[in-house]
Structure 1
Amino acid sequence: MSGPRVGVFGLLGSGNLGNDGSLEAVLGYLRAQHPDAVVDALCGGPEAVTTRYGIPATRLHWYRGEYRTASRAGAVVGKGLGKLVDVVRTAAWVRRHDVVIVPGMGVLEATLPLRPWGFPYSLFLLCASGRLTGTKVALVGVGADTIRDRPTRALVRRAARLAAHRSYRDELSRDAMRAMGVDTARDAVHPDLAFALPAPRGSAPEDGRGPVCVGVMDFHGGNDDRARAAEIHRRYLEGTTRFVRTLAEDGRRVRLLTGDACDAEVVDAIIAAVDSPLVTAAEATSLADLMAETAAAESVVATRYHNLICALKVGTPTLALSYAAKSEALMAGMGLDAYCHPAREVDADRLIEQFRELESRSAELRETLAERNADATRRLEAQFAALTKALFPKSPAAATTATTPHAPARQETP
C-alpha cells in the first residue's frame, strides 16, 4: 500500500532562505517519522525545490508575471485571469492529497509590504480548498501579526479559520490571531521550525578571533510604511554602513550575510561605501550555509529573522536590528532581549555601544544560548509528536509518540 499523500505549500524555492529552511525541517520530519509519505509541492519556485529537495513541484500561480507590477492592460488582464484559474488549479492540487502542510514562514503576517491579492489570496484558496475537498490543511509553526489592512486581514483570518490544524512559532503570533477573531484555545506554540535543523560545528579562525557577521536586508519598512519607504531604507543603509565602517577601522573582519536574493544590492552598496579588504560577502544559499558562517563568527548583528535564528541556533552572541515584534520575541525567548536595535531608526553610535557590551558578555551569553537551544529541541520534538497525532493518526508513529499538553486545533465555522 502507498503511504499518505502529503503536499507542502508556500513561497518556497523563491530565493528566501528562511522559507526554504522551514521546508527542509518539515521534510526532515516526514522522512524520519513517515518515510512512506509521498510528498510534492505547490510553490513559488518549483524548479529550485525539485532540484534541491528531490520532490515534484508545481508552480503556485498560473500567471507567470504574478510578482511583476502590472503596468499594461495585457498584464492586468493576465493577473486577473490568473486569479480565476488559480481557484481551479489550487482545488485540483489539494484534492489529490491526504494532508497539506504550510511549513513555518510568516504566512499570517504583514510585517513586510504585502498586497491582499498576492499570497494572502493564495493561502485562502488553499485552506478553502482543503475544507471543500476534505483534505487536512495544517499551518505548522507559522508567524502571525495583527494586520491593519482590512482586505488582507479578512483573507488571513478566514484562511486561518478554515485550516484543520494551526501552531505558531511564538506567543506573539497566537495572540495576534486571537486579536483578529480566531479561536486559538487549542493552538500550540513551539520554537521556529528552523531550530530543528542540524547545527554545524564552528570552524576555528586562523588568527584566534572570528569575524563579525552582519546580516543585512533590503529593508524599506513594513506594510504600513509605504509612504516613507525610501526614507526608512536610506536611514537603515546609512546606519548599517557606518557600523560596518567602524568595525573595519577597528581592524575587525566583517562577513556580510543575506537571507533573500533581493538583499544583494545592499551588500554591494555597503562594500562599495566602506571600501575595505576586511569587509567581504558570504555566498550562502541555505540556512545550513548561514549557520556555518555564524558558527565561525565571534558575534553577529543581523536584521532578517532567519539570520537571527541561524546565529542563535549555533550559540553565537547576537544583536538584532529588529524590524518587527517577532524579532524581539525571538531574542527575548533566547535570553538576549537587551540586544535589540530598531531597524527603522538605526543609530550607529548606540548600535556600536550595544555591540561592545554584547561582546563583553560573550562567554555568559554562549552559556545562556546553549541552555535555550536544548529547551527548543525538546519543545520541537513535542511539536512533531503532536503533528503526527493530528495529521497521521493511523500511522505507527502516532501510536508510539508521547502525549503532549496541546491538542490539535479543531476546524472552525468560517
Structure 2
Amino acid sequence: MTADGTPVRVGVFGLLGSGNLGNDGSLEAVLGYLRAEHPAAVVDALCGGPEAVTARYRIPATRLHWYRGEYRTASRAGSIAAKGLGKLVDAVRTAAWVRRHDVVIVPGMGVLEATLPLRPWGFPYALFLLCASGRLLGTRVALVGVGASAIADRPTRALVRWSARLAAYRSYRDALSRDAMRAMGVDTARDEVYPDLAFALPAPPPGAPSDAPSDAQGPVCVGVMAFHGGNDDRDRAEEIHRRYLDGTTRFVRTLVEDGRPVRLLTGDGVDAPVAAAIVDAVGSPLVTVSDAASLAELMAEAAAADAVVATRYHNLVCALKAGTPTLALSYAAKSDALMAGMGLGTYCHPAREVDADRLVEQFRELEQRSAELRRTLAERNLAASRHLGQQFAALTAALFPATGRAGGTTDTNTDTDTDTRARVLKEAP
C-alpha cells in the first residue's frame, strides 16, 4: 500500500512473452517476490508478447511497440515509414503507460548489453523511453539484476548509458556488468551485484536414477542456440554460425557413438532450426528435442541428465540451478563469469570456435569429477538463494518505502523469505 492506503501500482517491462525462456524466467522470479512480499500490489506489463504474458501469469499486458513489424527488416517505403512513425507513437504510449504506475521494474535480462546482434532503435530505444519517462513523470524505474556489456556502437551505447543513468535503481547479475556500465560513464557507486534472478525460482526435484546399465552412462542434455556471433560480428555471422553448428553436431555424434542418449535443449523459438539440423545430421533415435516451455521445465530436464553442455546463458543457469555438472559453450564474458561464480570456471569452451575433439576431452573430465562438482553446486546454490533474499530486501527498501516492510533482511530471515517466494511460485497459476 502507498502512504494514502491505495494499492501500489507496479509495472513490469521488457521483451517478455516473446519466446525467450530466460526473459520469462526473470519475470516469474519478480512476480514471485511481489506476490509474496507485496500481495496488495496491482501489477501489469508492457512487453513483447502481451497475450502470452496474460495467459501464463494472469496479469494485464500491453504490447511494447505500436508497429507490429518492429523487429522485422524494413525494405519497402511503406514499412520504413510505419517503423519511423512507430518511434513517435511509442514515445507517447510509453509515457502514458509509465504515468499510471508508482514503480516500474525491468526484471533481469541482458537489457544493457549487446552480446548478440542488436539495433539501437529497437529495444535500446524502448528502454530509453521508459527510463526517461520515469524520470520526467516521477515514477521509479528499477533495473533489477540486469546484464550489461561494453558497447562499441555509438548510438546504442548512448541510449544504454542514458537509460541506466535515468533509472532510480540498478543492480546487476555479475560484476562484469557493473564494471561495463562504470566504463561507459555511469556512476555505479551504489549499485550492487546479485546472482541472476532465475536462481530465485524453485529448485527442480532431484533427477531419477539413470536407466542405463551399470557399465554405461546416462543421458546428456545439449543446449543449442541460433548463434551467429555478437553485435560486432555481422560481417562474418554465417561463418561463425556454420562453425558452431558443425562443431556441436560432431560433439553430439560422438556422444551417440558412445551410446549416450542426447536431449537437445533450446531457450528461444529461433533455436528450433538448429536443433532440427543436428537431429537430421546425426540421424539417430538417441537424439531427441525437448519441448520445454519454461525455465522450470528446462531445469527438470537438466536435473534428469548426467551432465549438461549448453550455449544460451539461461540454459546454463537452469543446469547449474538443477545442480547438474555443466560445461558452457561460452559466447560472452557473462557465461564465463557465471560458470566461475558457480565453481565450474574450468569448464568453458568458446562457441565461436567449437573444437569437437577438445570439447569431448573437457566433457569426459567433467563427468569424472561429477560427484565433487555436484557438491560444489549444492553449496553455491544455497549461497545464491541467500544473496537473492538480500536483493529483494534491498528492492523493497528502495521502491516500496511506504509499505512499512523492513529495509533489510538478516541472514536468519533470508531462507524463510526465499522459501515463501518459492511456495508462491509453485502455487501460482
Residues in 2 aligned to 1:400 and 1:203: alpha-carbon distance in whole angstroms = 35
Query: What are the residue-to-residue correspondences of 1:223-262 with 2, within 5 Å?
Result: 223-262=231-270
Aligned to 1:324: 332
Amino acid at match of 1:345: E
Query: Deviations along 1:213-240, whole A, 9 cap, x unmatched?
Result: 0000000000000000000000000000
Deviations 1:10-39 (A, max 9, x none): 000000000000000000000000000000
Partner of 1:369: 377
Contact 1:214 1:255 in 2 (8 A): yes
Q: 1:85 aligns with which of 85, 89, 94?
A: 89
Scaled by the length of structure 2, what TM-score is found? 0.93
Q: Is the 8 A contact 1:213 1:257 kept in 2?
A: yes
- Residue 72 of structure 2 aligns with which residue? 68
What amino acid is the match of 2:103? V
For the pair 1:143 / 2:155, whether they are aligned, the reply is: no
- What is the aligned counterpart of 2:399 among 374, 391, 400? 391
1:400 deviation in Å?
7.2
- Select the residue among 341, 350, 367 that pairs with 1:342: 350
Alignment root-mean-square deviation, CA = 1.2
- State yes or no: 1:113 paired with 2:121: no
CA positional deviation for 1:67: 1.1
1:110-156 per-residue CA deviation (whole Å, 9 max, x = no partner) reads 00000000000000000000000000000000000000000000000
Give the length in aligned residue pairs: 404
SS class of match (2:406)? helix
Of 380, 389, 405, 1:381 maps to 389
Aligned match of 1:407: none
**Secondary structure at the counterpart of residue 11 of structure 2:** strand
Q: Secondary structure at the match of 2:43?
A: strand
User: Is contact 1:385-1:402 (8 Å) kept?
Assistant: no
Which moved further from structure 2: 63-72 or 121-130?
63-72
Is the partner of 1:397 in helix, strand or coil?
Answer: coil
Residues 210 and 296 in structure 1, CA contact (< 8 A), matched pair in contact too: no
| Letter paired with 2:397 | K
- Of 256, 269, 274 in structure 1, the residue corresponding to residue 282 of structure 2 is 274
8 Å contact kept, 1:392–1:398: no
Helix, strand or coil: the match of 1:183? Answer: coil
Match of residue 207 from structure 1: 212
Which residue identity lines up with residue 154 of structure 1 in the other structure?
A
Q: Name the CA distance, whole Å, in 1 between partners of 2:247 and 2:410.
A: 49
How far the C-alpha of 1:207 sits from its partner, in A, is: 3.0
CA distance in 1, matches of 2:409, 2:366: 40
What is the SS of the residue equivalent to 1:398? Answer: coil
- 1:402 positional shift: 4.4
Alpha carbons 1:145, 1:173 under 8 Å: kept: yes
Measured in 2, the distance between the counterparts of 1:9 and 1:278 equals 40
Matched, 1:124 2:132: no
Counterpart code for 2:358: R
Aligned to 2:40: 36
| Residues in 2 aligned to 1:25 and 1:329: alpha-carbon distance in whole angstroms | 21
Match of 1:312? 320
Contact 2:222 2:262 in 1 (8 A): yes
Secondary structure, aligned partner of 2:402: coil
Q: Deviations over 1:241-260 (max 9, x none)?
A: 00000000000000000000
Runs of 5+ consecutive residues of structure 1 not aligned to the other structure: 404-414
Letter matched to residue 146 of structure 2? V
- Gaps (5+ residues) in structure 2? 412-429
Q: Aligned with 1:394: secondary structure? A: helix
User: Is 1:26 aligned with 2:30?
Assistant: yes
Deviations 1:281-318 (A, max 9, x none): 01010000100000000000000000000000011000
- Aligned residue identity for 2:254: T
Inter-partner Cα distance in structure 2 for 1:234 and 1:363: 35
CA distance in 1, matches of 2:318, 2:405: 29
Map of 2:102 onto structure 1: 98
**Is 1:188–2:192 an aligned residue pair?**
yes
